[in-house]
Amino acid sequence: MPSFADFLFDAGLAIQNLAESLSGRALRLGVTGLSGAGKTIFVTALVQQLTLAARVAAQGGKNPLPVFRVHAEGRLVRGTIEPQPDDAVPRFAYEEHIATLTGPGGDSEKRAWPESTRRISELRLTLEFERETSFGRRNSQLSIDLVDYPGEWLLDLPLLGKSYQRWSQDTLEASLAPARAPLAAEWRAYVTSLDPAALSDEAVAQKAAMLFTAYLRACRAEPISASALPPGRFLMPGDLEGSPLLTFSPLPLTEGSEIAPQSLAGMMARRYDAYRNHIVRPFFRDHFARLDRQIVLVDVLAALNAGVGAVRDLEHALGEVLNAFRAGKNTLLTSLLRPRIDKILFAATKADHLNHVSHDRLEAILRRLTARAIARSEDVGAAIDVVALAAVRATHEANVGGRGNAALAAVVGISMAGERIGNEVFDGRTEAAIFPGELPRDPDAVFSGDMGVVDPRMADYRFVRFRPPIAQRDAAGMALPLPHIRLDRALQFLIGDRFD
C-alpha cells in the first residue's frame, strides 16, 4: 500500500508536470541503453540528421531520412539546437561528439567514437515544419528535449520497491548463476562469513563494498557481459566514489527478518535506503517521470557473443527496464498531471555489423528478448516496437567467396586497431571484408545454444569494432549527414505523429 511519503511524491510530480504543461511543455524523449549500446552516438546522429536534413533536401541532395514522413513530404523546414532547457542538467556535448566522429579539425585520420554516456545530459532541438490543414499548409514547430542517461541508472528504479532484505536475497541468489558464480566466489565467501547481527564496523563495510563492486565489474566485462547489475552507481560512481552512499553490500538475510539499528545489517540497510532516497528517487522525480517517449538501445550482438547466460541475463534486464517505465496511453488529464510514456522503441544497435539479410533475424531476436515485457506494456495502451538500426553506419556490404561455390553476405569496413579474428589482428587503416556469422532463423535458439545451422562455423560470430565512416561533403563543401541504417524508421515511430 502506498505510504504518505509516496502520496506527497506523486503530488509534487503532478504540480511540476502541470506547471510545465501550462508553460508550453516540450516533448521529452528519453534515450537509454546498457553500457556500450551506443547512446551517445544515437543522440549525436539524430541531432545531425535533423539539423542538416532540410538543408540537404533544399539543395537537391539525396533524402537522408526517406521513412521520416514529415521530411519525405517536404514539410520539414529547419532543425535548430536551442539553449539548454534545464539549468541544473549538463548540456549534451553535441559539437564535441561530432568533432570526435568526423575527426578534430576535419582530420578524418583522427576520427573516433565518442566516449560512452556516464551521466545524464540534455539537449533541446526545435523542428520547424509545415502542418497540413483544411486551409493548406501552416507553419508550426515542435521542441524536443533529448534526455540521455546511463541504462544502469534505469535498472536502479526497481530498488524503490525492494527492501534491503529482499534486495540482498535477490542479489545473492543471482550470483549463484553458472556464469556468475566463479566471479562472485571471493565476495560471497566474505559476506556469508559475516554475522549481520554483529555491531556495525566501517572496515567490514568497506571491504564488503569493495568485493561487491569488483564482482559487478567482472560480470559486466567480457566474456560474461551481464546486464542486470544494480546498483548502477557502483559501476559509474563519479564523485560519489568512496562515499557511504556506495559503501554497502548485500548480506545473507531473508525477507521480513528483523534488523537491529546498531548492527552491521542496520548500517548496510541505512546506506541502501540513503542510496534510494538521495540518488534513485531524485532521478525518477526530476528526469525519468517526466518522459513522454523512450528509446532503449540494446547491444544484442554482445550478448550473443557471450553465450546463453548473457542472453538470459539481458532478457531479465530488459524486463526490469520495462517494469520501471510508467507506460500507458495518455489522456488529457494524465498528460497534464502524470504523463505516461506512450511510445517505447527497443532498438538492436550495430546493425551495420551484419549484412542486411540478417537484420530481420536480429529484430526477431530482440522481439523475443522483450516479448513478456512488451505484452504487459501493451495491455495498458502503450505502443511498443523493435527495430535493428545503426545510428552511424560504419560499413558497406559485399558478397565474398565462401565455402564451396556459395557466396557469403559480408560487411566491409575499417576495423579498430587491435581488433582480432583468430590470428589476424587489424591495423585500423586497412579495409577488410568480414563474414560475421549467421543468426538463427528461430529466435528461441539463442536461449538454448542450438543455433539451428547446418555448419557450426556459421554460428561462429565475428563481431569486431569498426572505425567511424569518413564524413562526406557536398559540392559546396558543406557537411553531409553521416550514413545510417533505419534511424528514419526510429524517428517516425517515436515522433512522427507529432507532425500530423
pLDDT (tens digit, 9 = 90+) per residue, 238-254?
A: 778 889 999 999 999 98
- Position 24 scores a pLDDT of 47
Q: Which CATH number fits domain 4-149+287-392+484-499: 3.30.2320.20, 3.30.1330.30, 3.40.50.300, 3.90.1150.110?
A: 3.40.50.300
Between 48 and 107, the higher pLDDT residue: 48
- Position 424 scores a pLDDT of 86
pLDDT at 419 over 60: yes
Between 170 and 134, the higher pLDDT residue: 170
Sequence-distant (≥ 6) Cβ neighbours of residue 291 within 8 angstroms: 28, 29, 30, 147, 339, 341
- Position 378 scores a pLDDT of 63
- Give 61-76 pLDDT, tens digit per residue: 788 899 999 999 999 9
Taking the domains of the chain in order of start, what are their residue ranges? Answer: 4-149+287-392+484-499, 162-277, 396-459
Q: Which residues pair with 125 in a beta bridge?
A: 81, 144
* 443 preceded by a cis bond (ω within 30 of 0): no
**Contacts for 52-60: CB closer than 8 Å, 24+ residues apart:** 52/79, 52/479, 52/480, 52/481, 53/79, 53/481, 54/78, 54/79, 55/478, 56/474, 56/480, 56/481, 59/474, 59/476
Reported as a pLDDT band with limits 50, 70 and 90, residue 463 is: confident
Reported as a pLDDT band with limits 50, 70 and 90, residue 339 is: low
In terms of Cβ atoms closer than 10 Å to its own Cβ (0-12, 13-18, 19+), residue 37 is buried
Q: 213: closest CA among 238, 246, 177, 191?
A: 246
- Give 160-178 pLDDT, tens digit per residue: 889 999 999 999 999 999 8
- Position 10 scores a pLDDT of 53
- Give 286-327 pLDDT, tens digit per residue: 888 888 999 999 999 988 888 888 898 899 888 887 777 765
In this structure, of 97-106, 409-418, 468-477, the range with the lowest mean pLDDT score is 468-477
For the CA atoms of 105, 107, 111, 115, the dihedral, rounded to the nearest 10 degrees, stands at -20
- Give 380-406 pLDDT, tens digit per residue: 678 889 999 999 999 999 988 755 567
CA triple 377-500-72, angle to 5 deg: 105
pLDDT at 128 over 80: yes
- Position 7 scores a pLDDT of 52
- How confident is the prediction for the chain on average, in pLDDT? 86
pTM: 0.87
- Position 448 scores a pLDDT of 79
- Residue appearing with cell numbers 530498488: 159
Cα 273 from Cα 353, distance rounded (Å) = 42
Q: Provide Rg for the chain, Cα atoms.
A: 24
- Give 426-457 pLDDT, tens digit per residue: 998 999 898 888 888 899 988 876 554 434 44
HSE of 303 in the Cβ direction (CA atoms, 13 Å)?
28
In this structure, of 11-25, 139-153, 407-421, the range with the lowest mean pLDDT score is 11-25
pLDDT at 459 over 60: no
